[in-house]
Amino acid sequence: MEILTIETSNKTYPVYLGQDALALLPGYLKEKYRSARSILIITDESVGALYLQRLKNVLADIEKELHVSVVPSGEKAKTFDVYYSCLTQALEFGLNRKSLILALGGGAVGDLAGFVAATYMRGIPFFQIPTTILAHDSAVGGKVAINHEAGKNMIGAFHQPEAVFFDLDFIASLPLKEVRSGFAEIIKEALIVDPEFYSWLTAGIQSLEHVDMQQLAYAIKMGIGVKGAIVKQDEMENGVRAYLNFGHTLGHAIENSLGYGSITHGEGVMIGMVFALKLSIRYSGLNFNLTTFINWVDALGYKTKIPSKLNADDLLAAMKKDKKTTGRDITFVLLDQVGKPVIKTLNDDEVLTEMLPMFENKR
């Protein structure tokens, strides 16, 4: 069992990472949250069918009322209507300021449950119980949000969890598509912070279909370490935390333009990272073999082209709504070197010059 520590300006909390990490949750609650009388578990339809009963069994002897809110799977959970429904249920269940919320699921459930916790009675404690690789990133750092049709994660808050229980048994059931989605964030974390970790990934991970669990556990641990180190420096994204958005400017625009849930977050981010690497080579002097990178991620099963059904002007407009962008031009996280990110602003012509060749079936 690995115990990682996340430090922010306002809170320090543990991440328990390993097989059967969930077994540590009851003791943690009994020791630190003895006065809490009720717990709301927020999970989605898919995860709930697989793991809700296991969580209930684990919590059977903690002498607290358990309530459950089951929400739609994936990005469909992150809507105003679902958020409102969760708040209504919390009120109906009689949750108070000493109640707890447990987020059992992937990144979408964690984002939603965290935002419910952040805003219910002006903020109550919550715990992250990630069930996907992708959630290794979103479960740490306290960024919680729901989507708006105009942009991803536009309505949200900073609300740190009390602890994270990352049970590796959960990810054994993940479909390959979700493994890829989460692994894209691990690649991102290596590129922006740790050249040695990036070299380890490219040398050791040649397939995601039969990835070794020990390798995957190490990669997740390293990814959480990267995220934690950045959050420690900049909890509220006033500086270096923005570097975690590498690949996300175009990635979020693709997700938004296709419709949330039409493409996984990691699939969108991978296309965005290829684009950000192209921009980095052109406008930031990055010395990087992009062809080798594309061949590697192609072998891992990622697509690296923008879907042909999308329109360049629509993507430009969507990128201008990105939270990092504050003027008429578009703000990107680029790389001066692997491990050395930088923020740069580019105009429409500069963006289009590199983006147009990336469309499927377009030259």
Answer yes or no: is 75 a known binding residue.
Answer: yes
Please indicate whether residue 102 or residue 322 has the higher confidence score (pLDDT). Answer: 102
- Residue 363 within a domain: no
The pLDDT tens digits for 240-296 are 999 999 999 999 999 999 998 899 999 999 999 999 999 999 999 999 999 999 999
Mean of the per-residue pLDDT values of the chain: 95
Query: Does residue 188 sit in helix, strand or coil?
Result: helix
Beta carbons of 102 and 127 less than 8 angstroms apart: yes
The kind and range of the H/E element at 138 are helix 135-138
Answer yes or no: is 108 a known binding residue.
Answer: yes
Beta carbons of 135 and 103 less than 8 angstroms apart: no
Q: What is the mean pLDDT of residues 59-64?
A: 94
pLDDT at 3: 97
Alpha helices in the chain (DSSP H): 25-32, 45-47, 53-58, 80-92, 107-119, 135-138, 176-193, 195-204, 213-233, 248-258, 265-283, 290-299, 312-319, 348-355
Answer yes or no: is 109 a known binding residue.
Answer: yes
The structure tokens listed for 218 are 């190490």
Answer yes or no: is 152 a known binding residue.
Answer: yes
Answer yes or no: is 185 a known binding residue.
Answer: yes
Residue 256 belongs to a domain with what CATH number?
1.20.1090.10
User: Same domain, yes or no, for 99 and 224?
Assistant: no
The predicted model scores a pTM of: 0.93
User: Same domain, yes or no, for 199 and 151?
Assistant: no
The structure tokens listed for 230 are 């950045």
User: Same domain, yes or no, for 107 and 142?
Assistant: yes
Answer yes or no: is 320 a known binding residue.
Answer: no
User: Same domain, yes or no, for 160 and 191?
Assistant: no
Answer yes or no: is 285 a known binding residue.
Answer: no
Quote the CA–CA distance of 199 and 246 in Å, as a whole number: 18
Q: What is the mean pLDDT of residues 119-135?
A: 97
Answer yes or no: is 148 a known binding residue.
Answer: no
Residue 117 belongs to a domain with what CATH number?
3.40.50.1970
Q: What is the mean pLDDT of residues 336-363?
A: 93
Tell how strand 38-44 and strand 65-71 pair up.
parallel
Quote the CA–CA distance of 162 and 26 in Å, as a whole number: 14
The pLDDT tens digits for 243-256 are 999 999 999 999 99
Residue 363 has pLDDT above 80, yes or no: no
pLDDT at 362: 56
User: Roughly what angle, to the nearest 10 degrees, separates helices 265-283 and 248-258?
Assistant: 140
User: Same domain, yes or no, for 221 and 197?
Assistant: yes
Answer yes or no: is 77 a known binding residue.
Answer: yes
- Which regions of 205-363 does DSSP assign to beta strands (E)? 330-337, 340-346
Answer yes or no: is 265 a known binding residue.
Answer: yes
The pLDDT tens digits for 135-179 are 999 999 999 999 998 888 999 999 999 999 999 999 988 999 999
Q: What is the mean pLDDT of residues 311-316?
A: 95
At position 274, the amino acid (one-letter code) is V
Quote the CA–CA distance of 87 and 116 in Å, as a whole number: 7
Q: What is the DSSP letter of 62?
A: S
The structure tokens listed for 123 are 């903020």
Quote the CA–CA distance of 169 and 213 in Å, as a whole number: 10
Answer yes or no: is 132 a known binding residue.
Answer: yes
Answer yes or no: is 107 a known binding residue.
Answer: yes
Question: Residue 272's domain spans which residues?
Answer: 176-358
Answer yes or no: is 221 a known binding residue.
Answer: no
pLDDT above 90: percentage of residues in the chain? 92
User: Same domain, yes or no, for 241 and 147?
Assistant: no
Q: Which range, of 304-308, 312-316, 319-323, averages the lowest pLDDT?
A: 319-323
Q: How many domains does the chain have?
A: 2
